[in-house]
Amino acid sequence: MNTWRTGAKDMLARLPGVAELYQGVWADGAAPSGGYSIDRLVTQLPSWVEAVGRALREREAELGRGRGGGPGGRRPSDAKVDRENRAALRPRRLLVFGYLQWWLEYSVALALLLRAEGHQVDLAFLPQRRWHIDSHAFDLRRQFAYLRRALSPLSSELGLLPFVGRGAELPDPLAQSIEAQSRLDVQYTLQREGLDWAGDPEVVGLLQLRRARNRAAAVAAYRLLQERSYDAVVIPNGSILEFGALYRTARQLGTPTVSYEFGERREHLWLAQAAEVMRLPTDGLWAARGKRPLTDPELNRLRELFQARRGGQRWSQFSRQWQRSESAGAQAVRRRLGLVDDKPVVLLCTNVVGDSLALDRQVFTHGMAEWLAETVRGLASRPEVQLVVRVHPGEMLGAGHSSIEIVREVSPELPPGVVVIPPDSEINTYDLIELAHLGLVYTSTVGLEMAMFGLPVVVCGDTHYRGKGFTYDPASMPEYLAQVASLLQDPLGRSLPSEQVELAWRYAYRFFFEYPFPIPWHLLSFWEDLAARPLEQVVGEGAQGAYARTLRAVAGEPIDWVASRDSGDQEEPQLSPLAAAAEGQR
């Protein structure tokens, strides 16, 4: 952009109403070239709003019949209020947040689903197209004007709140929290944990950008949440970027939060109340369901899932395919890697550095990178041990600080007993589990799978299955090193006790099949899913539809993990044949 044009935009950005006038008159409402278009969403809004209005009228008529009694009706004086209909009888006031194009589109649809359930819903939004690149103030004001106009059909059902922060101070605890958030954002964006915060121009510039963006979002949220009372603030992710800034602000003010994200299972989402969903808080589910043994159908379902995962195949609604090839067998892999069978194999499975499922999950190191480096440093010098480092396949999508680089920084010339398997390797991880003596993980889900196969596993990051009774969970570096040394003294081929294997299988089923909530659309296939299951159809199903429980949880209603499941399950723990099955697989 030439200097003259930049100067003109600088001047115009300071004049009230000019950017909005330009957007409405000269641009004729089209999306700014530096922004983004939501034209596909705009074409759907009239039909969506009409469907929501119709659903609300039908709901009101049904409630009126119920209040009046008579045929099909129930009088409040002599009828119990069905738990499934609490939201209809006691609407909640909700704030739904949308930011970045894909999340804004999804947030609009989710806000309308909640409105159709009878809640009072405000939609707050930001205009930025990217989180790591700055935009000119004039362009941002144009994008805000474009979004306000594009979203205006929603105003009959939703409150529309452009998220604008103007100069208010934040209390010191919140300001410090926002600073910490901004540094996490830099690590997330660059996918590196160890950064030069003062001397690296890229890091300094990105930190300044993220600090300004997060602070502006926090200021806007702080003012809004003081002015208006919400029963819940509904936030995507909740751990990074402006999503994290809003989450931290709401928590600081004591406003209930619901954060949500999407995993590998289609037509399902993760959600967490009063917690960051990316930490996958399963304590409530585990407390309610952890003592119940798996039924035969549940066990078979879980076996089918893991047979598919081991075979490098997709299964049912699970879309991810991390294994690039079928199992070749543990002995074939042993020969290929040059491993001997009279020395213990330690299998270390990494995370992607900076991934939001691993970021800020440190227990006794500064992060995954330091844990990986210290582990390699400690085991590479032990000739009686064979170390296999399986790099996370997610690094094929890119890594700012790759695991291979971290290992090479510690040991430029790998000793004979250390093998690093790159992310694009066709070696099947489940073959590695089968030949391993000990597993080491930071937060990777493969640690759970190791325990399911009877492999002792040491968990070194703050992951959701840590402390559930089937892993070793050191709290300090000396404890970690001592734990590893002790486990390496066990005879080759020793497995976890059958009770722990049983527990791991039980937890896996609860996590993969019961923790996710059904929802008609996945973020990554939003428009494809909408074509198969239109919003008009979903809202027409009413409070007793397939997603009623999910929408109650998103609205902040307490989650009853027990009532939503089979009440015929046994209460007392019993052992099933899982331990024998695990022994056969090993």
Say how many CA atoms lie within 13 Å of 339 toward its Cβ: 25
Helix, strand, coil abundance in the chain, percent, nearest 5: 50, 10, 40
Whether 584 is covered by a domain: the verdict is: no
Which tokens is 283 given?
């304590």
| DSSP secondary structure letters along 347-401 | EEE---TT-TTTTT-BSSSSSHHHHHHHHHHHHTT-TT-EEEEE--GGGGG--SS
Average pLDDT over residues 192-220: 96
Last residue of a domain, one of 484, 514, 544: 514
Number of domains in the chain: 2
Note the pLDDT tens digit of each residue in 373-409. 999 999 998 999 999 999 998 876 766 788 999 999 9
Same domain, 172 and 318: no
Q: What is d(CA 520, CA 538) in angstroms, rounded to the nearest whole number?
A: 8
In contact, 543 and 88? CB cutoff 8 Å: yes
Instruction: Give dist(CA 109, CA 102) in Å, integer.
Output: 11
Residue 417 within a domain: yes
Note the pLDDT tens digit of each residue in 20-51: 666 666 666 777 777 889 999 999 999 999 99
Residue 84 has pLDDT above 90, yes or no: no
The verdict on 235 and 376 lying in the same domain is: no
Rounded CA-CA distance 144/160 in Å is 12
On the question of pLDDT at 207 being above 60, the answer is: yes
Q: Are 116 and 55 in contact (CB under 8 A)?
A: yes
Domain assignment present for 464: yes
Q: What sign does the CA torsion over 559, 563, 565, 570 have?
A: positive
Question: What strand order describes the sheet that includes 418-421?
Answer: 418-421, 386-390, 345-349, 438-441, 457-459
> Are 56 and 155 within one domain?
yes
Q: Is residue 100 pLDDT above 80, yes or no? A: yes
The mean predicted confidence, pLDDT, of the chain is 86
Same-domain status, 189 and 267: yes
User: Which CATH number belongs to the domain containing residue 355 in this structure?
Assistant: 3.40.50.2000
Please indicate, yes or no, whether residues 218 and 247 belong to a single structural domain of this protein.
yes
Of 514, 548, 570, the residue at which a domain comes to its end is 514
pLDDT tens digits for range 405-427 = 999 999 888 898 999 999 888 88
Residues 302 and 274 occupy one common structural domain: no
The predicted-structure confidence for 542-556, as pLDDT tens digits, reads as follows 656 789 999 999 999
Q: Does a structural domain hold residue 161?
A: yes
Give the range of the structural domain holding residue 120, as residue numbers without chain letter. 24-70+87-280
Which CATH number is 176's domain given? 3.40.50
Distance CA 250, CA 95 (A): 11
Whether residue 309 sits in one domain with residue 226: no
Assess whether 251 and 367 both reside in one domain. Answer: no
Residue 274 sits in the same domain as residue 300: no
Nearest to 483 by CA among 492, 491, 471, 474: 474
Q: Tell me how far apart the terminal alpha carbons of the chain are, to the nearest angstrom.
A: 63
Tens of pLDDT, residue by residue over 74-83, are 444 334 444 4
Residue 436 shares a structural domain with residue 375: yes
Q: Check if the beta carbon of residue 266 is closer than 8 Å to that of residue 522.
A: yes
* pLDDT tens track for 424-477: 888 889 999 999 999 999 999 999 999 999 999 999 999 999 999 999 999 999
Amino acid at 474: P
Q: Provide mean pLDDT across the span 255-273.
A: 95
* Domain final residue, candidates 514, 548, 577: 514
pLDDT at res. 21: 65
Residue 306 lies in a domain: yes
Question: Same structural domain for residues 259 and 300?
Answer: no
Q: Read off the pTM.
A: 0.88
Q: Would residue 13 count as lying in a domain? A: no
The interaxial angle of helices 172-190 and 241-253, nearest 10 deg, is: 160
Average pLDDT over residues 192-199: 94
Q: Are 243 and 250 in contact (CB under 8 A)?
A: no
Look at residue 315 and tell me whether its pLDDT is greater than 60: no
Is residue 545 a part of any domain in this protein?
A: no
Same domain (yes/no): 480, 429? yes
Q: What is the DSSP code (8-state) at residue 542?
A: G
